[in-house]
Amino acid sequence: MEENENKHREIDALLGNILKEPSLRDLFDKRVYELGLSERDVRRMLKLEYRTINGIIDGTQRRGDILSFKKLATFLNIPLDDFLEMHSSLAEANNADKNTVTQKKKFLKDNFDLAVLRKAGFINSLDNFDEIENKITLYFGLSSIFEYKKRAFNTAYWTGIVSQKSISKTSIVRDFWLTSAKILATKIDNPYIYIRQNLVAFFPQIRWFSTNEEFGLINVIKHLFSIGITVIYQPKLSSLKLRGATFSVNNKPCIVITDYMGFYPTLWHCLIHELYHVLFDWDIINKDSNSYHISDDSEELFTIDEREIEADNFARRYLFSIEKMEEVKPHIYDYRYINEVARDNNVHPAIIHSYYAYDNGKKDRMAWIRAKRYMPDVKIAVHRLENNWDEVNSIEEVAKKLKMQIYN
């Protein structure tokens, strides 16, 4: 059986060589061999540089004078028109390949911040474009890099403070980050129906989960998933001042959060902030979003509108209000007292210390140092949820893993 297969392969190869139209290179090499000429002989006979001869014969030299073409056509003993037609086809094919490579390089540079992706470990170099293309197409599950399009998100953002100078540089990083999140949420494909009343009923319990550093976030994500809300944790990317986002996937809420500042309390503030959008802005998010706009000169501007301010204030009131902070402020250095207050309010004490530092950091230079002292490592909460940029293979594989471990 194996012998027959080998035989057929040899026959196909022989027939392929017989039926194959000879190229200019084939004709040239055959002619040189038949005449027994050396490279020097050919140069003297045609009065052409060998580099020019090779460029025309291989089609890599798109332009050439008609005299050179006539000399080579005569040397190959074929009509000039046939020679020109063969050269033109070859040159066009070579040029098309070059154009494709050029287009790919331009597309990659225009649509991805390669420096940020290399810093994250997602790619290994800035100039190995074949490797970059392969990594991105594998990651997104694309057959061609040109399939990657900047997605239109119906999104409510919670952003950090962004300078005008840095805004233009963050847009393609944000597009990559959000596109990753939305495709992942689509692959996870939450089967449960979102009913607002179910979220309202569950909401009072959420902050209590913050007291469990290791499993609290995972458990609240599992419960939210069961009521039709998909919450994804995605590692941050440098230069991206995005803490969280809310968008629609199959007409169901999807929230993506990150560790922008690397603080455990920020994860919970962000989650509540985004859930506010689900509770009160869902109709807008599910249809359209004015959370940001693109100006005419492509400079992207974040719009911190009234809804964003309300969502931020809501998260603060829910977790630990300014009024409560005023009550405990005189005792903020009393670790045991703050722990008792946190326990009575069903929140992690780091949330109180973090809010105090946020409120008083400008006046009390030690505020953030003390807050960090009582802050758990954010990795404890997210390591089962995250897929680091330097390790992730494809969104398809990430989704399969998370569906087995978290979203079930």
One-character DSSP codes across 68-131? HHHHHHHHHTS-HHHHHHHHHHHHHHHHHHHHHHHHHHHHHHHH--HHHHHHTTSSS-SS-HHH
Buried b (16+ CB within 10 A) or exposed e, 60-98: ebeebeeebeebbbebbeeeeeebeebbeebbeeeeeee
Q: Scan for tokens 């992207």, then name that residue.
A: 300
CA–CA separation, 156 and 26 (whole Å): 62
> Phi and psi of 347, rounded to 5°?
-135, 160
**Cβ atoms 264, 376 nearer than 8 A:** yes
Quote the pLDDT of residue 158.
Answer: 52
- Domain segments of the chain as ranges: 2-105, 152-320+377-405
Q: How far is CA 278 from CA 155, 229, 238, 369, in A?
A: 11, 9, 27, 34
The 8-class DSSP code of residue 20 comes to S
Segments of the chain scoring below 70 in pLDDT: 1-20, 62-64, 95-99, 149-170, 288-305
Quote the pLDDT of residue 391.
Answer: 84
Looking at the DSSP assignment, which residues form a beta bridge with residue 158? 244
Quote the pLDDT of residue 295.
Answer: 20
Of 237, 240, 231, 238, nearest to 302 by C-alpha is: 240
CA 297 to chain centre: 24
Of 47, 57, 63, 60, nearest to 26 by C-alpha is: 57
Q: From the CA atom positions of the chain, what is the Rg in Å?
A: 32
Quote the pLDDT of residue 37.
Answer: 84
Predicted confidence (pLDDT) per residue in 222-264, tens digit: 999 999 999 999 998 887 778 888 988 889 999 999 887 789 9
Quote the pLDDT of residue 304.
Answer: 47
Quote the pLDDT of residue 44.
Answer: 85
Of 271, 240, 257, nearest to 120 by C-alpha is: 240
Burial class, 34, CB count within 10 angstroms (exposed 0-12 / middle 13-18 / buried 19+): exposed
Buried b (16+ CB within 10 A) or exposed e, 140-149: beeeebeebe
CA 94 to chain centre: 32
Quote the pLDDT of residue 159.
Answer: 52
Quote the pLDDT of residue 215.
Answer: 95
> Phi and psi of 383, rounded to 5°?
-65, -25
1.10.238, 1.10.260, 1.10.3470, 1.10.10: which CATH number matches 2-105?
Answer: 1.10.260
Quote the pLDDT of residue 64.
Answer: 65
CA distance from start to end of the chain: 48
